[in-house]
Amino acid sequence: MHRNISILLLFTLLSQWLFTTPVLAQTTAPTAAASAATSISSVSNASDQSIAFKEYELQLTDYTLANGLRVILAEDHSAPVVAVDTWFRVGGADDPPQRSGFAHLFEHMMFEGSAHVANGQWDKLLEAIGASNNAYTQNDKTAFWDVVPANQLPRILWMESDRMASLAVTDENFQPQRQVVIQEYNQRVANSPFGEANLRLFTQPLQGYAPYELPVIGNVDDLNAATLKEVQDFHTEYYRPNNATLVIVGDIDVAQTQALIQAYYGDIPAGPPVVQTLDRYPYPTAFPATTVDEITGCQVGTTETLVDAKVKIPRYAISVAGPPRGAPDFYALKLLTDILSSGDSSRFQQDIVRQGLAAAAFVGLNDYKGASVLYAAAYANQGDKVEDMRKLLDDEFARVRNGDVTAAELARVQQQQLISTITGFRGSVRETAEWLQDATLTFGDPHSIGQELALYQAVTLNDIRRVAQTYLCARPMNVQITQPEGEQTLATYPGELVQPLDVAAATGIGPATETISESVIAALPTDVVTRTAVPAALGELQTNLPPFKTFKLDNGLNVIFVEQHETPTVHLDLFVGGSNAAAPAD
């Protein structure tokens, strides 16, 4: 039977516009019911020239307001949107003793209203203009991001500055959000298969090291015991402009944006000088071992068995305290984990999963500002024993410790790191903002992305073997077995690994590095600066679609070609008309 088939082939060197512009997607893409679609992304290097990160960097404006707020601006006119990213230098590492989860609590509290934005209005004010937003908490930061139409920059700066200046930390807001956080804990940890096991897996290597020994999500008993006064004191200490960085990336005019920032943030008072928890606790140079493994001869830290009736198959997992970002070992260890577990060609995938030896297996490296955690796990197939999973991991680790990694494997993951850095950094305005924030938080310099990438490219095979021997044998490996039934044995607390240093707070806020005059602020468009009402937009939104070419091949294939150069990749979408809608009724 003859069937009319419509095919759309799309090439693009950056698909940001195609993903963020509904009009284009609706015009060109058949509906899901009437088409089948295939997407492929690959590296573009047709001229056989090396790819350099510096070719994709953006020019930055980096300065500090008089109240200590650090500001980083980057113009990116590829789409008429702006990302506004605010990071407070406070996370799970800064939770008070016996009050884990405070930073996570404030991730929720920040949406509960401020002096001029009522409780319940935050999402409504942004949804009305087609904007998106969210927040998250990690060990070293609490992040709040917004992506708005470019002409609505005044609105989001008004909202963000209002909650920085006047968050309503009241009992009426605190009590409901405490329950929300506890419910989140119950959902993600207490009532989730492997929930408690995962929480312990990632914190066990750093027990005894105060900044990272407790989970960011918090402890139910700690949250229930918290008082409003404790919550208010925590807010006063950390959620101030001198403990925050504001990054704005997108379709902006830098001078105009600086004026808006000065108008909205300039009069927010600085808080007390902050001593970061990591400054008080040096990273341990040694971690306790309890025994030497009789089979591998490697150091063992703790061994525990968890019983979780919600799991169907047993899991064997290990975790090890790793090096902090910035240390040369970190970059070699990260590439080693990629060789073992990143992508279909990785060793775990080829040697374990594809061979049917385990239901799943993975290895990864969680990085924090002052530490990292190496972890690995193998999930048994039905009927297999957890001891079999241990042997699978032991065998793979022994191979890399013995120098079995090839130059081709190292080159593959180094190239992956290069491309993922570029595509991640320029994937969207929000991703760009996040990368700049991460570099600034970790190293104090938004330009350090390229410098860190160079550390990955400098890793050698000898480095890979050295870190394999160090972190997969010489440093104590914490073993965790999770099974649906049996006897549970938990690891004991090792005691404090380091004593806190007596670090004095800074004496005050440094001088502003750039001053915006009142005349510049006065020159802003009418009604874009206001404290008590939603500010006006910056004129009409300009939505110019990227240029594209259309043509048809002799065989009838319709082609749309979009040329853009924000990332060194080619993205191909193939749409075939018919799909389920064209299938015979029987």
Does CATH number 3.30.830.10 belong to domain 291-483?
yes
User: Does residue 76 carry a pLDDT above 50?
Assistant: yes
Residue range 138-162: mean pLDDT, rounded: 98
Question: Which three-class secondary structure string do you get for 261-276?
Answer: HHHHHCCCCCCCCCCC
pTM: 0.88
Residue range 88-94: mean pLDDT, rounded: 97
Name residue 191's amino acid: N
Share of the chain above pLDDT 70, in %: 89
Taking the domains of the chain in order of start, what are their residue ranges?
7-51+543-582, 59-242+253-280+509-522, 291-483
Q: How far apart are CA 503 and CA 379, in angstroms?
A: 45
pLDDT at 66: 94
User: Does residue 4 carry a pLDDT above 90?
Assistant: no
Is 178:223 a contact under the CB 8 Å cutoff?
A: yes
For 362, list phi and psi in degrees, rounded to 5.
Answer: -155, 160
Going by pLDDT thresholds of 50, 70 and 90, the confidence category of residue 562 is: confident
Query: What stretch of H or E contains 566?
Result: none
- Residue 430 CA: distances (Å) to CA of 34, 253, 292, 436: 33, 17, 47, 10
7 burial type by CB count under 10 A (0-12 exposed, 13-18 middle, 19+ buried): middle
**If you average pLDDT over every residue of the chain, what do you get?**
89
What top-level class would CATH report for the domain 59-242+253-280+509-522?
Answer: alpha beta
pLDDT at 16: 35
pLDDT at 113: 96
Q: How large is the angle between the packed helices 228-238 and 102-109, nearest 10 degrees?
A: 80
Residue range 46-69: mean pLDDT, rounded: 82
Q: How far apart are CA 465 and CA 405, in angstroms?
A: 8
pLDDT at 507: 56
> Can you give the C-alpha Rg of the chain in angstroms?
26
Residue range 246-254: mean pLDDT, rounded: 97
Q: Say which residue the tokens 């990632």 belong to.
A: 202
User: Does residue 391 carry a pLDDT above 50?
Assistant: yes
pLDDT at 520: 81
Give the pairing type, strands 7-12 and 558-562: parallel
**Nearest alpha-carbon partner for 289 in 205, 357, 411:** 205
User: Does residue 579 carry a pLDDT above 80?
Assistant: no
pLDDT in tens, 266-318: 999 999 899 999 999 999 999 999 999 999 999 999 999 999 999 999 999 99
Fold agreement between 59-242+253-280+509-522 and 291-483: yes
| Cβ burial 228-265 (10 Å sphere, 16+ → b, else e) | eeebeebbebbbbbbbbbbbbbbbbeeebbbbbbbbbb
Q: What DSSP state is assigned to residue 539?
A: S
